[in-house]
Amino acid sequence: MASDWKERLGTVYSTNPNFKYESSAEDEKVTLAPGEQDLRVQLDRKQRNGKKATLITGFVGSDEDLKALAKILKVKCGVGGSAKDGEILVQGDFCNKIIEILKGENYKVKRSGG
C-alpha cells in the first residue's frame, strides 16, 4: 500500500476510518489480442495541405499498447506519425505495407476507402 502514494497525489485526506481510496486504474481499457482486433487502413488527405497519410482505425485497447503498435509501424515504414484516440496516423501512403505488417503481427485488417 505504501508504494502507491504517487497515484494518490492531489487526493484530499479523509478522517473517516472506513475510507478506502479507489484509483482510476479500473477505467483503463483492456487491449484485445491481435486476432480479435478489427483494424481498418485507409489513405487520408483531409486537412493535410494535400499531403497523404495512412490512417489505421478500430484499435481497442490501452493508450500504451496503441503507441507501441504505432511505433512498430512508423519504424518499419521509416516515417513519423502519431497515435491517439484509438487511431494511428502514419505520414505518407503506406497502406499496402502497413496491411502486410499488421497481417504479419496476426491482426485482422482490411483496407477501407478514404
For the chain, how many structural domains are there in total? 1
**Residue 41: domain span:** 29-111
3 in any annotated domain = no
Convert the pLDDT of each residue in 26-37 to its tens digit. 455 788 888 898
* pTM (predicted TM-score): 0.72
pLDDT at 48: 79
Rounded distance between C-alpha atoms, residue 74 and residue 89, angstroms: 9
List of residues 6+ apart from 25 with CB closer than 8 A: 7
Q: What is the pLDDT of residue 101?
A: 94
Mean pLDDT for all residues in the chain: 84
Q: Does residue 74 lie in a domain region?
A: yes
